[in-house]
Amino acid sequence: MAPCPCRVAEAEAFLEGKSPDEALFRAAASICSEAVDLVDDIRAEASYRRLLAGGLVEEWGLQVLGERT
């Protein structure tokens, strides 16, 4: 998606101090999808990369919830 990992300060601020649940991670995923600046290239369109970025955040959040149970 990008040559190196990036932080999304808006998502970090949104998550800060909140109790984790599925809805919280879905909202954070949406924030990440909208915040990342991606480009189309021969490998993938920016819209697909944006979908992946949000999906990775949501998947990570669901894994965190699974480990807490």
Cβ within 8 Å of residue 44, ≥6 positions away: 1
Q: Taking a C-beta distance cutoff of 8 angstroms, is the pair 37, 5 a contact?
A: no
Task: Report yes or no on 44 lying in a domain.
Answer: yes
Longest dimension (CA), the chain: 42
Residue span of the structural domain in which 25 resides = 20-68
Tell me the CA distances in angstroms from 13 to 7, 9, 43, 58, one per residue in order.
11, 6, 32, 16
Q: Is residue 41 part of a domain?
A: yes
pLDDT, tens only, 21-59: 999 999 999 999 999 888 888 989 989 998 999 999 999
Number of independent structural domains in the chain = 1
4 confidence band (pLDDT: 50, 70, 90): confident
pLDDT value of residue 28? 96
In a domain, 31, yes or no: yes
**CB atoms closer than 10 angstroms to residue 14:** 16
